[in-house]
Every structure is written in C-alpha cells, then in structure tokens.
Amino acid sequence: MLARDAENLFWAGRYLERAEDTARLLDVTYHGLLEANAAEQRAAWSSALEAVGLRDAFEKSGRSLTAANVSEFLVRDGENPGSIVSAVEAARENVRTVRESLSTECWEAINSFCLSMRSRNLEIEIEQQPHELYGFIRRQCQTVAGVASETLARDDGWRFLRLGWNLERAEWTCRLLRVRQVHLEAPGFHEWVGTLRSASALEAYRRTSRGSMDPADVIEFLLLSDSFPRSVFFAIRSAETSLRELGTGDEPSQPLRLVGRLRAELEFADPRELLTGDFEGELTRIERSIRGVCSAVGVQYFINIHDVDLHMLQVFPGAGVE
C-alpha cells in the first residue's frame, strides 16, 4: 500500500489508543481524589500529566496545577496535540484520507465518535459529570476497536493500524508503571488498585493473583503478562507479529529486529531481579526502546530517505505528541 496511507493508519491507531488511555487515567484520578487533601491532589494530577508524557507541556502553558486546569488541558485543549479532542480529530482526519482501506462500519464508528465529541459541551461535562464523559470516550474507542477487528480484512492496512495501536499501548503501560513504581515500598493498596484500573487490568489481575495486591505482582502482571492484552510484553509481541507479517524477503527489517530483541528481553526477564535493581532506569530504557521501534517503522515504511538519522524523526509529523 502507499506509504502515506500506511502512515495514516499507523497514527490513527496510536491516536485512538491515546484517547482511551487518557480518558481512563483521568477517570481513575478524579475518583481517587474525592476525599484527598490539597497536597495529595496536586501530586496526583502531576503524576497523571507525567503518565501521559505531558507534564512539561502543561508547565509551559503557565496554568496552575489544579484538577480543572489539568482536565481542561488533557480533554479539550485544541492547542495541546496530546489532548483527547486533538487525538480524536487527528484519528478521524487520518482515516478520512484512507477510507478505501476501511470498512464502511469502521469509518462510521470513527466519524460518529468525532462528531459526538464536537457536539458535547465538554466544559460543562468536565465540571459536572466527568465520569460519564470519560466513560463515553472509553466506550467509543473500544467500539471503534471492536468494529475494526470484526470488519477489516487482515491485510497491510489492518497490520499498520494494529501496529500503531500496540506500540502506543506498550509505551503507555510502561510509562504508567514508571510513574507509579515510586509507591512500591509503601503500603499503597489504593494506589495499586488505581494503577490497575488505569490499565483496565483490575479484574484480570485479581483472577490471576487470587486477590493479592502485592506491588511486585502488580508490576510483573502489567509488564510481563503473556495473557493480558494491555501488558507491555503482550503489546510488544503483538507488534512483532504485525511487523513480521509486513516483512518482505528473507532478511528481517530493522523495526522487526528491534521489536524482536525487546520482546525476547521481556519474555526471559526475571521480575524479581528487575525489581531489586534500578527498576525506574530499566523502565526508562524500555520506553526508549519502544520509541526506537516507532522511529524505525517511520524510516522503513513512511520515509523515502532510508539513511536518515533516527533522532531526526522528532521533526516529522506526529512526533510532537509521542
């Protein structure tokens, strides 16, 4: 398929995953702070901004660190390319240009989602009924994912869409763990419940762990589970499958080499060894590796100049919200 079409589908997947993850995090953060004091609220909203990778951007905006300002910034700020509104609009624009690669049902689901967001009074909803708003966004993203899964042929367009979805998910879960791992030594039961809920993992974890809320087990589940679709390992393995199916010829592509190396590291990692070492540094390295895979995908499939320095990718479209 055309490189520009592949890139549009790749980024549509990333934007939709980003919108869902941000809505879920906002919902969990809001409900976790109903009885918190001012200092706890500031710490929680700062943590939420770091989890979505936008704390520096928020600080540069000059806003004070309040629930209202953070919610406004992450939901409806059109100047913030990482906001939910920006992500949904970008996803729609990306798929609009490749409608011939999608089913009618998939396009209608994305278009309807975007039009519904435009018609809602987001300012009032953020203030008065945030839970309903975030639930709506989550369900709409899941609807699009379900419709795509059930109606799209398993061709290259599907593979690029799923590749973007899974790489975004892997980076998000890894960053969430890095931000929340500071509570590893503390008896923060509610913190870890909130972390699991932020990844839609609470019920799946409880069935696996038989109710234990050991922070080390939570981390192992979200990082290394081979059965939970939002774990870092599962998402990386799924991305590897997409890249393998996209490959041509006998030699593996550079993105496939990178993602295969990362998948092997995670597959054979010793969780206890990770936790007793520099765990935050290890998570930072994994995040960097995931971004390296994304950059390599750009060079391999979307850019005509194949010998470009990967670090130059920061100036290309999409990099501003990674």
Task: Measure the CA–CA gap between 149 and 151, rounded to whole angstroms.
Answer: 6
Q: Please state the rounded mean pLDDT for residues 57-67.
A: 91
Q: Where are the beta strands (DSSP E) in 65-180?
A: none
Domain locations in the chain as residue ranges = 1-152, 154-322
Q: Is the pLDDT of residue 139 over 80?
A: yes
Higher pLDDT residue, 13 or 2?
13
Give the model confidence (pLDDT) of 255-280 as tens digits: 999 999 999 999 999 888 888 888 89
Q: What is the pLDDT of residue 86?
A: 95
Q: What is the pLDDT of residue 187?
A: 54
Q: What is the pLDDT of residue 211?
A: 64
* Stretch among 39-48, 167-176, 188-197, 283-292 having the lowest mean pLDDT: 188-197
pLDDT-derived band at 182, boundaries 50, 70, 90: confident
Q: What is the pLDDT of residue 169?
A: 96
What is the C-alpha radius of gyration for the chain, rounded to an integer number of angstroms?
Answer: 19
Q: Please state the rounded mean pLDDT for residues 152-156.
A: 94
Looking at residue 66, its amino acid is T
Q: Is the pLDDT of residue 289 over 60?
A: yes
Residues 195 and 180: beta-carbon distance below 8 Å: yes
Residues 239 and 159: beta-carbon distance below 8 Å: no
Higher pLDDT residue, 173 or 36?
173
Task: Measure the CA–CA gap between 78 and 74, rounded to whole angstroms.
Answer: 9
Q: Is the pLDDT of residue 5 over 50?
A: yes
Task: Measure the CA–CA gap between 228 and 88, rounded to whole angstroms.
Answer: 25
Q: What is the pLDDT of residue 114?
A: 97
Q: What is the pLDDT of residue 318?
A: 41
Q: Is the pLDDT of residue 27 over 70?
A: yes
Query: Which tokens in the block code for residue 276?
Result: 């007793």
Query: Which tokens in the block code for residue 86?
Result: 């920006």
C-beta neighbour count of 118 within 10 angstroms: 12
HSE-CB of 153 using CA atoms within 13 angstroms: 6
Q: Please state the rounded mean pLDDT for residues 51-69.
A: 91
Q: What is the pLDDT of residue 305?
A: 41
Task: Measure the CA–CA gap between 230 and 253, rounded to whole angstroms.
Answer: 25
Kindly tell me the burial class for residue 168, based on how many C-beta atoms sit within 10 Å of its own C-beta (0-12, 13-18, 19 or more). Answer: buried
Q: Kindly report the three-state secondary structure assignment for every residue of 159-173.
A: HHHHHHHHHHHHHHH
Residues 306 and 273: beta-carbon distance below 8 Å: no
The pTM assigned to this predicted structure is 0.89
Residues 174 and 283: beta-carbon distance below 8 Å: yes
Mean pLDDT of the residues in the chain: 88
Please name the residue ranges forming H helices in 67-188: 67-75, 84-96, 104-119, 122-128, 130-151, 156-180
Task: Measure the CA–CA gap between 111 and 108, rounded to whole angstroms.
Answer: 5
Query: Which tokens in the block code for residue 292?
Result: 């390296």
